[in-house]
Amino acid sequence: MTSCEEAVAAGEIEGVGLERIAADFGTPCYVYDAAQLQAACAQVLALAAPLQARVCYAVKANGNLSLLHLIRDAGLGFDVSSAVELQRVAQAGAKPADVIMTGPGKSAVDLKAAVEAGVAEIVCDSAGELARLETIASEAGRKVAAGVRLNPAIDAPSHPHLATGRGEAKFGVGADEAAKMFSRIAASSVLETGSLSCHIGSQIATSEPYIELAKVMLAFAERLDKEKCPPARLDLGGGFGIGDAKERPAATPLAGVAAWLAEHGAGRSYGFQPGRSVVGRCGILLARVEYRKDRHLIVDAGMTELLRPCLYGAVHGVAHVGSKPAPAGALDVVGPVCENADFLAQGVALDAGPGDLVAVFDCGAYASAMASGYNGRLRACEVLVKDGVARLIRARESFADSIRAEDGAFDWL
């Protein structure tokens, strides 16, 4: 199995030419390597196995039904944040017992859908959300496992927009509030005690912040034990970094924290919610060069297909499809969108011109999932390469698709 970087240099994935994919399906186009995805799933499960930890893939990273089907077949559960994501995993064949619902600000619609489906657990982000869940469970006559998201006040190294575990972040509750919520769950006739859950950020490259988190969670779990409302498990969330095409972590942070827990956290049950570390590296974004202007390489993909560089300052590697010596100079790879923030990469050593095909790496996660139709951009297609065959797994959006919900809405005017 080759990496996406090696595949792009060779100009093919599993024997399928990337130029052929671009010709058959057009650009921009997200391309996923099934073998890479399956290997990532196997690695996560192997690291979690000594702990017998529950592993639920974070659907927000990429909710394409075909990818969800492969992830389900690999043996992972699912972490959903909404009723629609819940419908997606059900469509992909997931059993409710393998699904948890997390995320901040879940609506009554979201909670009702999760209760009615009978998901394994609903993690509550606030006391108000817990109260709403208890009412919905009571009205439905269902017993529901309720977890609580603790804000551990850990400032993990991450972009400010991705730092979800800081004390001032909107996510979760403080220790005293969390203890009250667990006490309420224990006293409820319709709720069962679920996980103590945390999430400290995204693209975290080392295991040290997770070990710090584990220490906080273990200490708080001891407090809950003494207060007669012990958590069912400790779920450390996700955010395990994959780096970028130029700088990869020596090992996934999950490896370090899993080993630490096996040695120092015996007697507890655990859970993880990986997203990017499962799908991130299996995907590339193919784009065709439209123009070269000064130091700008203008391609047919932009912030509408990959928002992360604009939103987070994220670094994605870009390479010419097929081996080609890199020049001494540097180019900014930019898109066609009417915003100065519309760039895919900056200062890239790249030799390309009009008509050339380039690939942006690490687009399996938070690329198609965050795509938009700004500037009248039609959503790009998605292609999966499996066993030497490229298949369309999401059609390119058409103009008719883009106006379907509003066509004819002006008839009354």
Residues taking part in catalysis: 338
Q: Is 379 marked as binding a ligand?
A: no
Residue 288 phi, psi dihedral angles, 5° rounding: -105, 135
Q: Are 332 and 345 in contact (CB under 8 A)?
A: yes
CB atoms within 10 A of CB 10: 15
Q: Is 239 marked as binding a ligand?
A: yes
Residue whose C-alpha is closest to residue 94's, from 136, 122, 56:
56
- Nearest-angstrom CA–CA distance, 373 and 343: 16
Q: Is 339 marked as binding a ligand?
A: yes
Q: Is 312 marked as binding a ligand?
A: yes
Q: What number of helices (H) and strands (E) belong to the chain?
A: 13, 19
Pairing of strands 331-334, 343-348: antiparallel
Close Cβ partners of 44 (under 8 Å, ≥ 6 residues apart): 55, 76, 254, 272, 274, 277, 278
Residue 336 in 3-state DSSP? coil
Report how far apart the first and last C-alpha atoms of the chain are (Å, whole number).
59
Helix (H) or strand (E) holding 343: strand 343-348
Query: 326-342 b/e with 16+ CB inside 10 Å = b?
Result: eeeeebbbbbbbeeeeb
Q: Is 394 marked as binding a ligand?
A: no
| CA 263 from centre of chain | 29
Please report where in the chains the tokens 């393998």 appear, as a residue: 98
Residue whose C-alpha is closest to residue 194's, from 289, 99, 92:
99
Residue 159 phi, psi dihedral angles, 5° rounding: -65, 145
What does the radius of gyration of the chain's CA atoms come to, in whole angstroms?
22
Residue 118 in 3-state DSSP? coil
Residue whose C-alpha is closest to residue 372's, from 393, 408, 342:
342
Supply angle C-alpha 223, 204, 88, rounded to 5.
85
Q: Is 366 marked as binding a ligand?
A: yes
> 14: alpha, beta or left, given left = phi > 0 and alpha = psi -120 to 50?
left
For helices 108-117 and 83-91, give the axis angle rounded to 10 degrees. Answer: 30
- Which positions make up the binding site for substrate? 276, 308, 312, 339, 366
User: Residues forming the annotated binding site for pyridoxal 5'-phosphate?
Assistant: 239, 366
Known binding positions: 239, 276, 308, 312, 339, 366
